[in-house]
């Protein structure tokens, strides 16, 4: 008789346990969905504020790349009776100063884009140094002339980086 009472008690408690587990499951799912919804709203609000900052960073980096492109750089910085080595140092220094001025922009752009920009900067400096070591480059005017002639043969590193920035901006808008 005692066993029958335990079995009856179990049958009375079983529906309550099932209802409790189902209620717990639905409550847990509801809380997880609410948390996801809150995080989505927070991200959406942050993006509303961060998107203009990100776009501004991309604009600044595009401006930087334009400023260090050989066409603009060689026109902006005059030779002024400098030797080829002095002129190369002035060009390199100008590129580095511009880069340091824009270092904080890396916070707002992707790491891959930042690496493309750094690679472009280093390639631009490398072209200047490589051209300086060529035979026949003895004056600043000759250095400028050889660099510009080299641009006719290949795409400048800054153009490649600018194309990458444009592609990335299109993907976030």
The series of mean pLDDT values per 10 residues for the chain, 173 residues long, is: 77 89 94 94 80 92 95 88 91 95 92 96 94 87 88 88 94 83
Q: What is the pLDDT of residue 95?
A: 95
Total-model pTM? 0.74
Give residue-wise pLDDT tens across range 85-134: 999 999 999 999 999 999 999 999 999 999 999 999 999 999 999 998 98
The 3-state DSSP class for residue 37 equals: helix
State the Cα torsion 25-27-31-33 to the nearest 10°.
70
Number of alpha carbons in the 13 Å side-chain half-sphere of residue 158: 21
């Amino acid at each position: 008789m005692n066993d029958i009472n335990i079995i009856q008690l179990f049958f009375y408690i079983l529906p309550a346990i099932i209802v409790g587990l189902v209620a717990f499951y639905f409550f847990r799912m509801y809380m997880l969905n609410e948390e996801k919804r809150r995080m989505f709203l927070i991200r959406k609000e942050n993006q509303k504020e961060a998107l203009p900052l990100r776009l501004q960073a991309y604009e600044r980096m595009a401006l930087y790349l334009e400023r260090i492109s050989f066409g603009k750089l060689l026109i902006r910085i005059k030779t002024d009776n400098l030797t080829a080595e002095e002129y190369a140092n002035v060009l390199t220094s100008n590129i580095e100063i511009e880069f340091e001025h824009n270092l904080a922009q890396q916070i707002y752009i992707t790491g891959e884009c930042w690496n493309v920009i750094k690679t472009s900067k280093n390639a631009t400096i490398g072209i200047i140094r490589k051209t300086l070591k060529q035979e026949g480059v003895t004056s600043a005017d000759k250095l400028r002339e050889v660099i510009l002639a080299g641009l006719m043969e290949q795409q400048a590193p800054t153009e490649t980086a600018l194309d990458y920035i444009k592609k990335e901006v299109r993907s976030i808008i």
